[in-house]
Copies of this chain bind each other. A is one copy, B any other.
């Protein structure tokens, strides 16, 4: 999660909402990314999607069975579904996202029979630091 937090800080420094993610296989970091929606003019360029796409490119496969994903914020429905499609084994996330999340609130993507692969979900990992980054970012934007 420390690597995901580094990516979140780097995203914030670029003027992006500070969210970071990394894909790991055991002890090995396969891909890491921060949010780049503004820079890339791409509404799908959330940290999770970029990390998944990069890991798939490394493996030459659209599936990442046995891989885990760390992300500093609860995934939105788009990312939650992408994580399922990629067959991620374990999802570790930091801060909860009651406003836009799609795992524990709202769409609850993993809670329906239309979701064909459900990762194990572990929440609240380094949540304090992940949340602080987001709060500071949005407080800075309001100033």
Contacts and interface: CB of A to CB of B under 8 A. Distances in A.
A112 to B, nearest CB: 4
Interface in A83-121: 85-86, 98-102, 105-109, 112-116
A59 interface: yes
A26 interface: no
Chain A interface SS verdict (over half): loop
A60 B43 CA distance: 11
A43 to B, nearest CB: 4
A28 interface: no
Interface of A: 37-38, 40-45, 49, 52-53, 56-57, 59-63, 76-82, 85-86, 98-102, 105-109, 112-116
**A-B CB proximity, top 9 nearest:** A106-B114, A78-B81, A106-B112, A43-B85, A107-B107, A77-B81, A43-B62, A43-B86, A77-B77
